[in-house]
Structure 1
Amino acid sequence: MTDTQVSGGSGVSGGSGAVVGTTGGAVRGRREDGLTVFRGIPFAAPPVGEARFAAPRPAEAWDGVREAYAFGPPPPQDLLVPGQAAAGSGDGDWLTVNVWTPDADPAARRPVMVWIHGGAYKLGHGGSPGYDARRIAADGDLVVVTFNYRVGMEGFARIDGAPANRGLLDQVAALEWVRDNIEGFGGDPGRVTVFGESAGAGSIAALLAMDRADGLFRRAIAQSVPGTFFSDELARDIGAALAAEAGLRPTVADLATVDPDRLVGAGQTLAAKMPGYTGRWGQAAPTVTPYSPVVDGDVLPVLPWRALADGASRDVDLVVGHNRDEFRLFVAMGGQLGTIGEEQAASALRMYAPGPGGEAAYRAAFPDAGAGELYEKVQTDWLFAVPTMRLAEAHLAGGGRAHAYELTWPAPGNGGGLGACHALDLPLLFGTFDADLGALLFAGAEPDEVALALSARFRASWTAFARTGDPGWPAYDTERRLVQVLDAEPAVVPYPEETTRRLWEGHEISVLPLHG
């Protein structure tokens, strides 16, 4: 095979796919199903050695043409199985991007969608089979980018000698790579939409509040925004506990000498102990997730809801939404479906319901709800539903425009008992029904015509928004409160969770503090 001559930023056909010149060097993609796909392109230097726990640094340039055929290795991460970790390659080449494009022609200037994956800030990567972006790129005739960012202790632990929120800084670096390079792949750097789910949506909320991300995207879609943001004091205390599990101090000098797998293991061990820290870590403790964005006053200056209400990113168009039964996924994964008793429900209500009379208010508002339903409902509301809708309201207050949705169609797996749970939007959006969580949510049930139609509607709405700023339903406002309900029969109606909204009215979202 002979390499095709390339010039900076141009895309020409050659070999098995187009060759594109980037700021790091030339890359060759592979033609697949009518698209050209580029995988594993470095957007930053490997964060190892002296660069470990540092802000991302520019990738080292290469000579010749790099075959961009394989996804880069995932960063070190938790696989949710104690003692088991997925670490990247020994050279730490974790910070890579992947591009799906209909045509690597700089003149095409198609809209660009950049996916930010979720995973509780401790797992996930852009090459995951569930994030195969071919259907979005093909159906929407646009360019889609996915990428890796540091997770877990590498990306989010608060340690001395390192910037906070390194995972968010990686995201900024990836978006800067898109700005500087995407034209050569047929994309328009002036029409970039970020979209993400769960921790990816929390990351987008943070990016909307970060000066470093100004101008890097024009539109944003935040699916199931978690409300967990740590105060700097809480993050430092958890960071010290994480390091202690590895027998170390929470410093770069100590932690940079340790194999990443050992730190993943420390995070797993601490997560199992977190419920015992309730008196010190409050609402963060039962989440068994020791990582979240940190409101450190520098990388993330203020809480996103406050930043948006003050007008940050008012020029960014926004879509936000959540699933009706978010928390049921975690109940199911913990083997607790149908087992939640009154004591557990009461404990959850006391921990998460707003205000001193929150438990009584929830019971009065949902008088027919059993223990299991109350347990799920209050945690769905606290963790996802309220933060998501409040993000829309904050954006409106700051002069922005937002559209809102709720997914109410139940997952067919487990006999439909999972409901419209957390992450159901992923297989629907990507059309990856048999990959990752899609295999659980659709277990034993082939996607029928309703599922396929809803999946197509997700992609049509998301890509229309990326193209025009209009997902196909009215913008949200605080008078009519119209949202798109995504179900077997989609409809635009006033927000269905009005009871929840009223229960939380006047209760401010705040950083999770350190107690005692």
Structure 2
Amino acid sequence: MTTPAATDTTDRLVARTTAGAVRGRREQDLTVFRGIPFAAPPVGDARFQAPRPPHPWDGIRDAYAFGPPPPQEAGFQGRAGILDAPTGDDWLTVNVWTPDTEPDPSAARPVMVWIHGGAYKLGHSGSPGYDAQHLARAGDLVVVTLNYRVGIEGFARIEGAPANRGLLDQVAALEWVRDNITAFGGDPGRVTVFGESAGAGSVAALLVMPSARGLFGRAIAQSVPGTYFSEELARDLASAIAAEAGLRPTAADLAAVDPRTLPEAGAALSAKMARRVDRWGQVAPTVTPFSPVVDGEILPTTPWEALAAGAARDVELIVGHNAQEYRLFPVLGGLRGKVTEEQATAVLRLFAPGGGAEGEEAYRSAFPDADAGELYERVQSDWLFHIPSLHLAEAQVAGGGRAHVYELTWPAPGAGGTLGACHGLDIPLLFGTYAADLGNLLFAGAEVTDEARALTALFQRSWTSFARTGDPGWPAYDAQRRLVQVLDAQPEVRPYPEEASRRLWEGHGFPPLPLPLVDKGAGAGDGDGSCRSGEA
């Protein structure tokens, strides 16, 4: 709601943006603003188009509640992850946590901008796991979180619409930060963008997108997925999604369907993807028909290629991953401890560098003591997260930039201690949200120990120090020493721990995934979906 402009405009809870004034709430020692539009609702004639400036408003708009989530599937593994979310078309909003002090341009604070993950098809900045209050306090800085279009609305490659609309939304949010964050006590010249999983893949893309240049000076990418689509793959997947709805893959056809029901078509395709390795290759078992598209314009090339050529040498970078990234997915799917040799062989031949029997043999030789389940997890952890993250750092260094690398090895205490340092564990540790969203599983039935709290303090200290100074507290990565920060009960700086995997993947460039990547008969079948991979 808005209140008349005559309301006390000297109120410290009021900030003036280019579209109008907003009023936040004081929450202990912070002022928090929620649901501020950074773009117009992408509906009507704006549907499937690049984001447009927000509609201005008169008076003072109450910024008390998170904006509605963009249309999306029901949730990861059946978990909605969106609590107390409003409805409506104002999907493109930002939220701001700022220390509660008098605005003073000479004391403007660093700004951290969070991009959530969710396989490019799920997620909402209002999810409790992304509550940024602890991070803002720990670093005495301004934290911004944002919504962006996901799934069909944001990433399907359809006729009559620009590619990568979800990434364009993120650029628009960063432009909003540039133009407005001074009113919230932030310094637009000291912006760090950070994200996890699909959010980290977005950060990697933003590093090399011409439209994002100059909008941030530092970046943190947590568990970068290696999946970027070629035009051919993206268009074929979009055709299959549209076919599920009985439509053509065009903006005109899809815009005739309610945006809240259209995700059903994407979910229907996801349920079938794992059986179509013959058609879609390596992306099929991910059951995720969305990723950034290397379209040659909005995203000119892959992040690895562009960084190696120096595209972001002036941006300081942290990048890293968790030790047992993929383990989350077999645990959630009830496959942990039940992987057969046939299933291990299928994924080794599909995902190992070189592919086929040669790729399988390389992994079995590198890990001679690993059983079927360990090989199943290892190759998918490496292909999907470990090596893309490491190679992003190596590309940045090769291009003349600086990168700091980490690996989280502390195991999640939930699920009977079976999860290890799995995918997503860094989120509750970073935000201190142990009992929210994925933290409900990762810490289920376990006490939040002093070890966990110490790791949270280390995460927050390192991330906010980097945002403030560019130094997270450990040495930059180089091709000779390969030093990384290992985050565990006893943190240490040491050479990259996954050396066997690093050697296996040396020289692999992570090109855009083609259509198809794997020929029929290459060793990974299209039968029972036993190659099912995870969601980024």
TM-score normalised over the length of structure 2 = 0.93
Counterparts of 1:361-372 in structure 2 under 5 Å? 361-372=362-373
Which amino acid counterpart does residue 412 of structure 1 have in structure 2? P
Q: 1:13: how far off?
A: 3.0
Counterpart Cα distance in 1 of 2:11 and 2:273:
54
Give the direction of change, closer, same or farther, for the CA distance of 1:298–1:209 in structure 2 (3 Å limit): same
Counterpart Cα distance in 2 of 1:264 and 1:85:
16
Counterpart Cα distance in 1 of 2:419 and 2:366:
23
Give the direction of change, closer, same or farther, for the CA distance of 1:438–1:83 in structure 2 (3 Å limit): closer
Q: 1:416: how far off?
A: 1.2
Give the direction of change, closer, same or farther, for the CA distance of 1:35–1:219 in structure 2 (3 Å limit): same
Bigger shift: 187-196 or 255-264? 255-264
Q: 1:261: how far off?
A: 2.8
Q: 1:299: how far off?
A: 0.8
Bigger shift: 101-110 or 277-286? 101-110
Answering whether residue 103 of structure 2 is matched by residue 105 of structure 1, we say yes
Counterpart Cα distance in 1 of 2:79 and 2:143:
34
Counterpart Cα distance in 2 of 1:318 and 1:89:
35
Counterpart Cα distance in 2 of 1:106 and 1:340:
59
Which amino acid counterpart does residue 514 of structure 1 have in structure 2? L
Structure 2 counterpart of 1:495: 496
Secondary structure in 2 matching 1:63: coil
Structure 2 counterpart of 1:9: none
Structure 2 counterpart of 1:136: 135
Q: 1:46: how far off?
A: 0.1
Counterpart Cα distance in 1 of 2:186 and 2:208:
25
Whether contact under 8 Å (2:82, 2:124) holds in the other structure is: no
Secondary structure in 1 matching 2:191: strand
Which amino acid counterpart does residue 244 of structure 2 have in structure 1? E
Counterparts of 1:73-472 in structure 2 under 5 Å? 73-78=68-73, 79-80=75-76, 91-102=88-99, 103=101, 105-107=103-105, 108-356=107-355, 357-472=358-473
Secondary structure in 2 matching 1:327: helix
Secondary structure in 2 matching 1:261: coil
Give the direction of change, closer, same or farther, for the CA distance of 1:153–1:104 in structure 2 (3 Å limit): farther
Q: 1:508: how far off?
A: 2.0
Counterpart Cα distance in 1 of 2:30 and 2:421:
32
Give the direction of change, closer, same or farther, for the CA distance of 1:84–1:253 in structure 2 (3 Å limit): farther
Structure 2 counterpart of 1:62: 57
Whether contact under 8 Å (2:121, 2:290) holds in the other structure is: yes
RCO higher in structure (CA 8 A, sep ≥6):
2
Whether contact under 8 Å (1:76, 1:85) holds in the other structure is: no
TM-align CA RMSD: 1.7
Q: 1:178: how far off?
A: 0.2
Secondary structure in 2 matching 1:276: coil
Which amino acid counterpart does residue 412 of structure 2 have in structure 1? A
Which amino acid counterpart does residue 100 of structure 1 have in structure 2? W
Q: 1:260: how far off?
A: 1.7
Structure 2 counterpart of 1:44: 39
Secondary structure in 1 matching 2:290: coil
Q: 1:331: how far off?
A: 1.1
Equivalent pairs counted in the alignment come to 508
Whether contact under 8 Å (1:348, 1:378) holds in the other structure is: yes
Counterpart Cα distance in 1 of 2:159 and 2:121:
20
Answering whether residue 16 of structure 2 is matched by residue 24 of structure 1, we say no
1:311-344 deviations in Å (ceiling 9; x for gaps): 1111000000000000001111111111111111
Counterpart Cα distance in 2 of 1:310 and 1:288:
32
Give the direction of change, closer, same or farther, for the CA distance of 1:38–1:89 in structure 2 (3 Å limit): closer
Secondary structure in 2 matching 1:513: coil
Q: 1:91: how far off?
A: 4.2
Counterpart Cα distance in 2 of 1:59 and 1:338:
51
Structure 1, unmatched stretches of 5+, are 7-11
Whether contact under 8 Å (2:38, 2:93) holds in the other structure is: yes
Q: 1:276: how far off?
A: 2.2
Whether contact under 8 Å (2:81, 2:437) holds in the other structure is: no
Give the direction of change, closer, same or farther, for the CA distance of 1:410–1:35 in structure 2 (3 Å limit): same
Counterpart Cα distance in 1 of 2:87 and 2:430:
33
1:74-129 deviations in Å (ceiling 9; x for gaps): 00112146798989866410000000000361423100000000000000011110
Counterpart Cα distance in 1 of 2:459 and 2:364:
34
Q: 1:415: how far off?
A: 1.9
Give the direction of change, closer, same or farther, for the CA distance of 1:161–1:90 in structure 2 (3 Å limit): farther
1:239-267 deviations in Å (ceiling 9; x for gaps): 00000000100001100010123221111
Bigger shift: 498-507 or 372-381? 498-507
1:2-21 deviations in Å (ceiling 9; x for gaps): 85444xxxxx435xxx1011
Secondary structure in 2 matching 1:144: strand
Whether contact under 8 Å (2:24, 2:33) holds in the other structure is: yes
Q: 1:506: how far off?
A: 1.9
1:444-491 deviations in Å (ceiling 9; x for gaps): 012100000001100000000000000000000000000000000000
Counterpart Cα distance in 1 of 2:429 and 2:7:
38
1:180-215 deviations in Å (ceiling 9; x for gaps): 000010000000000000000000000011000000
Which amino acid counterpart does residue 97 of structure 2 have in structure 1? W
Whether contact under 8 Å (1:106, 1:184) holds in the other structure is: no
Secondary structure in 1 matching 2:509: coil
1:340-359 deviations in Å (ceiling 9; x for gaps): 11111110100000114211
Counterpart Cα distance in 1 of 2:262 and 2:152:
7
Whether contact under 8 Å (1:82, 1:269) holds in the other structure is: no
Structure 2 counterpart of 1:476: 477
1:363-404 deviations in Å (ceiling 9; x for gaps): 011111010000000000000000000000000111100000
Give the direction of change, closer, same or farther, for the CA distance of 1:114–1:84 in structure 2 (3 Å limit): closer
Counterpart Cα distance in 2 of 1:47 and 1:166:
10
Whether contact under 8 Å (2:68, 2:88) holds in the other structure is: no
Give the direction of change, closer, same or farther, for the CA distance of 1:104–1:150 in structure 2 (3 Å limit): farther
Secondary structure in 1 matching 2:276: helix
Secondary structure in 2 matching 1:77: coil
